[in-house]
Amino acid sequence: MNDKTSDIENAVSVHNVYKNYGDVEALRDLSLDFPRGQLTSLLGPSGCGKTTLLKIIAGLLRANSGEITVNGQPVAGPGPDRAFVFQDFALLPWANVIRNVAFGLELRGVDRSEREAIAEKYIGDVGLKGFEKSYPHELSGGMRQRVGLARALSVDSQVLLMDEPFSAVDEQTRRKFQEDLLKLVKNESKTFIFVTHSIEEAVYVSDQVAILLPRPSRVSEIIRPEGFRHKDANSIRRDPEYLDIVDRIWASLRTYVE
Amino acid sequence: MSFAFPTFIESMAAFWTLLVDGRMFVAYVETLKPLVVGVLISASLGIGIGLAIGLSRKFDWLVSPIFVVMQTAPLAALIPLLVMVYGIGLTSKVFVVCIMAMPVIVLNTSGAVRNTPASIIEMGQSFLGTRLDVILKIILPAASPIIFAGLRLGVSAGFIGAILSELKITPTGVGDIITYSRSIADYPSMYAAIFSIILLAVIFLNVLERIEEYLFKGSRQTYVSE
């Protein structure tokens, strides 16, 4: 990262983005900034376009109009500055853990010994040491997503895009993941964009929660839960501010839930 | 028992005789020519065309009907046409094998390619894979179990095609043993020849399965997503 890019306050900026699927208007005039080094959640009821927005930032979908910049550079497609964590893990079933984790580097042409060394480090970091030679079908849901996370970390992108990464894992694993994610945000100087439909999860992990309302999607409110950010992981869930924010968000979302 | 239905022992004895006097080997040298050439063409071209159909809607629209027609056409009725155009030599026989073997390989491959889970393709794109990377490292391995299923079906159909061509075009190889034995009422030899082709097909399919197991040890597992 050179000095010029790190001077820009927002790692990712989205301005006046429109997206239509045929006649259906998915996003209308949506603007949102993602501060560097922080975790921003996109929260909203299903069908509100959170994943669409995330995929537009990833360069996997094209907006009909509007401007998306990452480190001041306009997005024209997937780039080395962004890595994606998928809701359904998107692991290659025929590849073992180490090849799956190293797959991002493999596609970038890093040679085998080097990419496996890097992959090994991140496999250790996500707590999967000893499972390098296992295949995805031999792992639990939570472990599979750790593989997906290690793959995204190993390409060392500045921006991590996470599409409901914990929605397919069981509740206990999910809590553990959320605590680990807090540590990750603190330790890595990366910008996280996190899509979720769980209010508690969004408030628990985020520096900034963007609430999206559906049909067509726009940002209705941005909440920055700051009071309990310095507290340790265990006491956040009992913090009065945490509980207040969760209630407030539910109050504004409930009318949109059938 | 009718004279046309020899006992199993009689047929096996005839099978042994054909083996020992070498007629079987001479016959297979002839029969394997259109079979091997036809199956190789069907497999390579079939997988290639199937891949293109699976990747491109336009190509699908343009080419798919040909293979649907090939698969449903009454082949025996078309053989005289082939002979008129390509003569009675190897070319016509290879064509018959291909017409039998190729459609199922093409249709299986294109279906498998089209059904590659969208998320692993997106994964490849988001991690900066080129189009070729995505095809070679994601789509083809993901499609390989169904491509191989198509190959197995295609190869079995190819065996039928090879014998059909020898019965319908010019009696050579195993087809000649079948035709000749029937004409002199040597039914045990006829059944022995039919038995030999079934045996060869079973052995060949088993070898194919071994190759598949060796090549794609992990990919037989189902996708891991909830």
Kindly report which listed range (A176-185, A248-257, B43-52) carries the lowest average pLDDT score. A248-257
Q: Under an 8 A CB cutoff, do A106 and B137 touch?
A: yes
Residue A114 pLDDT greater than 70, yes or no: yes
Question: What was the pLDDT predicted at B87?
Answer: 86
Read off the tokens for A237: 């869930």
Distance (Å) from the alpha carbon of B209 to chain A's nearest alpha carbon:
17
- Beta-carbon neighbour count of residue B177 at 10 Å? 28
Residue to mutate among B138, B214, B219, B225, with most A CBs inside 10 A, is B225
Neighbour-count burial of A105, counting CB atoms closer than 10 A to its CB (0-12 exposed, 13-18 middle, 19+ buried): buried
Q: Under an 8 A CB cutoff, do A168 and B225 touch?
A: yes
Question: What was the pLDDT predicted at B226?
Answer: 37
Tell me the pLDDT tens digit for each residue of A233-249.
Answer: 777 888 888 888 888 88
Question: What was the pLDDT predicted at B225?
Answer: 43
Question: What was the pLDDT predicted at A141?
Answer: 85
**Is A160 within 8 Å of chain B by CB?**
no
C-alpha–C-alpha distance, residues B122 and A55, integer Å: 10
Residue A161 pLDDT greater than 50, yes or no: yes
Nearest by CB to A88, which of B119, B126, B128? B119
pTM equals: 0.82
Q: What single-letter amino acid sits at B137?
A: K
Q: Looking at residue A75, what DSSP letter applies? A: P
Q: Under an 8 A CB cutoff, do A88 and B226 touch?
A: yes
Q: Which residues of B touch A (CB under 8 A)?
A: 117, 119-120, 122-130, 133, 137-138, 141-142, 216-219, 221-226
What are the chain B neighbours of A95 within 8 Å (beta carbons)? 218
Check if the beta carbon of residue B128 is closer than 8 Å to that of residue A77. no
The count of residues in chain A is: 258
Q: Under an 8 A CB cutoff, do B119 and A92 touch?
A: no
**Is A94 within 8 Å of chain B by CB?**
yes
Read off the tokens for A132: 């390098």
Pairing of β A208-213 and β A10-21: unpaired
Distance (Å) from the alpha carbon of A91 to chain B's nearest alpha carbon:
7
C-alpha–C-alpha distance, residues A39 and A23, integer Å: 33
B144, closest residue in chain A (CA to CA) = A94
Angle at A78 between CA A45 and CA B130, to 5 degrees: 130
Give the DSSP H/E element, type plus range, for residue A28.
strand A24-35
- Beta-carbon neighbour count of residue A239 at 10 Å? 17
Q: Looking at residue A217, what DSSP letter applies? A: B
Kindly report which listed range (A5-14, A66-75, A90-99, B134-143) carries the lowest average pLDDT score. A5-14
- ipTM, interface predicted TM-score of the complex: 0.85
Q: What is the pLDDT along chain B (226 residues), one digit of tens a residue?
A: 567 788 889 899 999 999 899 888 999 998 999 999 999 999 999 999 999 999 999 999 999 999 888 888 888 888 888 888 888 888 999 999 999 999 999 999 999 999 999 999 999 999 998 999 999 999 998 998 899 999 999 999 999 999 888 888 888 889 889 999 989 988 999 999 999 999 999 999 999 888 888 877 655 555 444 3
Maximum separation of any 2 CA atoms in chain B, in Å: 71
